[in-house]
Structure 1
Amino acid sequence: MKIGLIAALGLALLGSGCVTIAERRALDEERCRSYGFRPGTDGYANCLLHIELDRSASRRVWVERDYYGPYYGYGFGYGFRRW
């Protein structure tokens, strides 16, 4: 009984972390509206663009960190990365 309850709670936690594309877009739009931008204006479009650019930059940092690993700069000079 306890194992089933723990498994159900674990699945609920994993499922709650997922956000669909439409939900993410709605959250981004709400964020821009909370900043005072009105839908249909250039400022609103720029706000959505900057949110997406920040998200993709953050994703790119995590991918590079996973691929290259942490860089401490010892032994091989400036800019050395693993092959």
Structure 2
Amino acid sequence: MFKKLSAVLVATLVLAGCGSAPSQSRAEVDQGRCAGYGYQPGTDAFAKCMMTIDVAREKRDAQDHPSDARMKALSIERNGDTRFPICSAAGMDNNLDTFNNAWYGPNCRQR
């Protein structure tokens, strides 16, 4: 049993290491996209293209991550629901509500 578990763990770590860091930064990729659209670096149109890509990324990221207030409301709504663990500092996405001195997060309940 231990050997099988160890083998699975090693395989998982090896596969996780296969994902390499991108060779280009996000800004370089965005600059390449805008240049590909025909905009010349240093022009107002190029700057507007870069800004449009950045604003779209921020909007997409905001939709992907629930707002802090929404996470807090979800955690409070889940109180008493034993399907969700009690929030703690161990949760990577959890935050501390300093007013109520309680942890909250996207996948747990407040107490």
Q: Relative to 1, partners in 2 of residues 1:5 and 1:64: Cα closer, same or farther, differing over 3 Å?
A: closer
Counterpart check, 1:61 vs 2:63 = yes
Query: TM-score under structure 1 normalisation?
Result: 0.61
Equivalent runs, 1:1-83 vs 2, <5 Å? 3=8, 4-13=10-19, 16=20, 19=22, 23-64=25-66, 67=71
CA distance in 1 between partners of 2:63 and 2:12 (Å): 33
Question: Gaps (5+ residues) in structure 2?
Answer: 1-5, 75-111
Q: Distance in 1 between matches of 2:59 and 2:22?
A: 19
Runs of 4+ residues over 4 Å off in structure 1? none
TM-superposed CA distance for 1:12, in Å, is 1.9
TM-score, L = length of structure 2: 0.47
- Cα RMSD after superposing both structures: 2.8
Separation in 2, partners of 1:10, 1:63: 23
Report how many residues are paired.
65
Report the identity percentage.
25
Greater fraction of residues in helix = 1
Larger proportion of strand? 2
